[in-house]
Amino acid sequence: MTNRLPGFNTLAIHAGAAPDATTGARATPIYQTTSFVFDDVDHAASLFGLQAFGNIYTRITNPTNAVLEERIAALEGGTAAVAVASGHAAEFLTMHALMQPGDQFVAANKLYGGSINQFNHSYKNFGWEVAWADTDDPASFEAAITPRTKAIFCESIANPGGVITDIAALSAIAKRHNVPLIVDNTMATPYLIRPFEHGADIVVHSATKFLGGHGNSIGGLIVDGGSFNWANDPRYPMLSQPRPEYSGMVLAETFGNFGFAIAVRVLGLRDLGPALSPFNAFLILNGIETLPLRMQRHSDNALKVAGFLAQHEAVSWVSYPGLPSDRYHQLAKRYTPNGAGAVFTFGLKGGYEAGVKLVSELQLFSHLANIGDTRSLVIHPASTTHRQLTDAQKSAAGAGPEVVRLSIGLEDPDDLIEDLDAALRG
């Protein structure tokens, strides 16, 4: 063997995993246990004091979850990762490690709807303020920065689908103001985009979507890029100040370039508690083994379906960056040359009524509120996820009455096209 690093396909299958030391089991076992026996009293003391790495209790660490954490860290090119109960838990624990009451962060306005709610409403209870910036206008991020800004947050391929973020432009702004750039990489996955290569400092995932990939488990991941220097920075006391919980230890000094991941685990996960079930970690690991194959097929299928819709007489527009005519096509060529992902929106000439009719006529597509399944999924946001908004608010959120969102699965693309064609002709 040379000392060349393994490729992405190899890492997706092997990173973090080894045959089980006791039984030889080749698939990663599900360590379905709450707690782990200490060797002796000294061992227990060193685990609790963070002087040794090891397992105490599954709320904080678990061997099945640890394989998942190492694997996503390898695929993203980060220094360490933390597995948590959901994508929302990943976002929340990330902010918990960075923000104090009265602090603010700047977020891109094209985000998963649940993230918009979380930032606008729930975070107020902690005294954390969000300032919204325009995903398509990096200068608007810089304009929103104040002395209390602690982070910039965006998605790589952004909701509601078909938006590519200029991560490097946002990273340049983050670096100028010495705040970390957090990228939600759920829709792209590291197969399509590796945000650390474009200057991100922290990556978060809803593993519920393409990483798990089969629509069967909720999970989240936080990846530390190891690039941000927290040490001696009083703006980030969780990382840079002596922690009373650990006899005055300063996490950024003791743990260096994975101090952020440690803070998320030993302060956030330990105290707030959204631990990932080892069973879900096992299912997500299984999903990741085929991630490169699936993401390529998702993207190839989506390009075919988008191309079909773009020339359909019932369709007024298609927003898919893989199409050469798309406004994000140049950014897509730069950031996601292997394909533009599975999720996109299109508009129906027949408006709201046509949207409602389409979702009820489709046979192969499932009408539900999720993305990233092997199965193709459809939703009409105006009659479901966004129905409480006014028409003006709907349009601003990219969810106007005529908009339909698809998450293209792994079926034969001709079958998907036939299903759409039949439903559109109705």
Ligand X SMILES: *Cc1c(COP(=O)(O)O)cnc(C)c1O
Q: Which residues bind ligand X (CB under 6 A)?
A: 86-88, 112, 114-115, 155, 159, 184, 186-187, 206, 208-209, 218, 220, 371
Q: Nearer Cβ to ligand X, position 93 or 424? A: 93
412 CB-near residues (< 8 Å, 6+ apart): none
Residue tagged 């599975």 (tokens) = 342
Q: Nearer Cβ to ligand X, position 114 or 256? A: 114
Q: Which of 103, 115, 157 is nearest to 135 (CA)?
A: 157
For residue 160, is the peptide bond before it cis, meaning its omega torsion is within 30 degrees of 0?
yes
Q: What is the DSSP letter of 34?
A: S
Q: Which of 190, 196, 205, 215 is nearest to 292 (CA)?
A: 190
The CB-of-95 to ligand X minimum distance in angstroms stands at: 13
The CB-of-85 to ligand X minimum distance in angstroms stands at: 8
Q: Nearer Cβ to ligand X, position 209 or 380? A: 209
Q: Are 386 and 394 in contact (CB under 8 A)?
A: yes
Residue tagged 């960075």 (tokens) = 98
Q: Nearer Cβ to ligand X, position 184 or 224? A: 184
The CB-of-111 to ligand X minimum distance in angstroms stands at: 7
Cβ neighbours of 122 (radius 10 Å): 12
The CB-of-185 to ligand X minimum distance in angstroms stands at: 8
Spatial separation of the C-alpha atoms in residues 256 and 39, rounded to whole Å? 28
The CB-of-94 to ligand X minimum distance in angstroms stands at: 11
Spatial separation of the C-alpha atoms in residues 32 and 47, rounded to whole Å? 20
Q: Nearer Cβ to ligand X, position 28 or 186? A: 186
Task: Give residue 132's identity as a one-letter amino acid code.
Answer: W
The CB-of-3 to ligand X minimum distance in angstroms stands at: 36
The CB-of-120 to ligand X minimum distance in angstroms stands at: 14
Spatial separation of the C-alpha atoms in residues 41 and 47, rounded to whole Å? 10
Q: Which of 374, 220, 271 is nearest to 59 (CA)?
A: 271
Q: Nearer Cβ to ligand X, position 48 or 279? A: 279
Q: What are phi and psi of 106, to 5 degrees?
A: -105, 125
Q: Nearer Cβ to ligand X, position 184 or 402? A: 184
